[in-house]
Homo-oligomer: A and B are copies of this chain.
Amino acid sequence: MTRLMQKRSRKTGLPPGTAVHIGEKRTERTRLQLLHYDAAQVTERELEGVEEGVNLRPGTGVTWVHVTGVHDVALLDRLGRGFGLHPLVLEDISNTDQRPKFEDYGDYIYVVLKMLHDGTQGQEIKTEQVSIIFGKDYVLSFEEAEPTVFDPVRERIRAGRARTRERGADYLAYSLLDAVVDNYFALLEQVGERMEELHGALLASPSPRMQQSLHQLRREMVLLRKSVWPLREVLGGLERGQSGLIGKETYIYLRDVYDHTVHVIDTIETFRDMIGGLMDIYLMSLSNRMNEIMKVLTIIATIFMPLTFIAGVYGMNFRHMPELGWEWGYPLVLLLMATAAGGMLLFFRRKKWI
């Protein structure tokens, strides 16, 4: 559950607009990757300091600075001043416990969203905050750790394939959003497969271990939902916002990524429904199993209690018990016992218990 809330308490009492890193402690050096392109050419460099990056806006083409690591608050501050960002934006970038949102500051648009990946081999889903800022001719993107999901976008720009090179910063920002949302589908696919497996296993033979898996799935859905649901508003807002920073053609693409988000949300809700269904299967199987156990107990008790009683009667030491002297007493009692047991069995068969 810690994953559901980062430690914000360190921030309590500080003035608003103070950038404080909130999130997992990290010590890696912050990395800045600059990529400048227009239809004709691409320049790519690893920046040493922030100042460099700021000067690299030659007036034509698009400048993309990708920052890996948001814990170096001083660096963020310099970057923010360089690009003229509002202090609240810097605060939000370094505070990794943000709700996805978008804010239009006129000169630039600021978007926060959540990247989700499952840890290496483990089943726990991890959230990472991604911030995207785009103005007329630049895009800044921020990730908490080593990037992976934006690599294909960079690859495409390098290769000169697709439309990115011919278009502006708005299209690049869209491509980054699209990359994040596409990533959700991959994740949901995985979750869907685990659900499918669990479903099969539950129908075959439910075990308490599956209850754990169910709970795990449910918890992940809660987390996913919290991360993705607000994205709908974000993208809906962007699409409706009619900001001058976004070209008319790009709106069609934004609508597309909005539709994808709605599709992701639909799927999450459907998965929640399905998990509820699995829960019910499990609970019913518990009840069925209990009925099963009680039936065995009842059958055994119902057959042997009367028999034991009969045996008990003829184990009494009364001096005057004529049956004890009969020559056929013992076989007759055995017969009586067999009859009683048979009667019980018939009774159970009629009740469809056996």
Contacts and interface: CB of A to CB of B under 8 A. Distances in A.
Interface of A: 1-2, 4-5, 7-9, 11-18, 86, 88, 92, 97-99, 101, 103, 105, 151-152, 156, 161-164, 174-175, 178-179, 182-183, 185-186, 188-189, 192-193, 195-196, 199, 203, 205, 208, 211-212, 215, 218-219, 222, 225-226, 230, 252-253, 255-257, 259, 262-263, 266-267, 270-271, 273-274, 277, 279-284, 286-291, 293-298, 300-302, 304-309, 311-321, 323-330, 333-334, 337, 352-353
Contacts of A9: 185-186, 189
24 contacts: A1-B193, A4-B192, A5-B189, A7-B189, A8-B182, A12-B152, A15-B156, A16-B175, A16-B178, A17-B162, A88-B256, A103-B255, A105-B252, A208-B288, A215-B277, A218-B277, A222-B277, A226-B267, A291-B293, A293-B294, A294-B297, A294-B298, A297-B298, A311-B313
Contact of A309 (B164, B175, B308): B308
B316 A311 contact: yes
B192 A1 contact: yes
Nearest to A211: B284
Contact of A316 (B205, B291, B314, B328): B314
A6 to B, nearest CB: 9
Nearest to A203: B212
Contact of A88 (B88, B189, B253, B277): B253
A284 B281 contact: no
Specify which of A203, A212, A277 lies most central, judged by the most chain B CB atoms within 10 Å of its CB.
Answer: A277
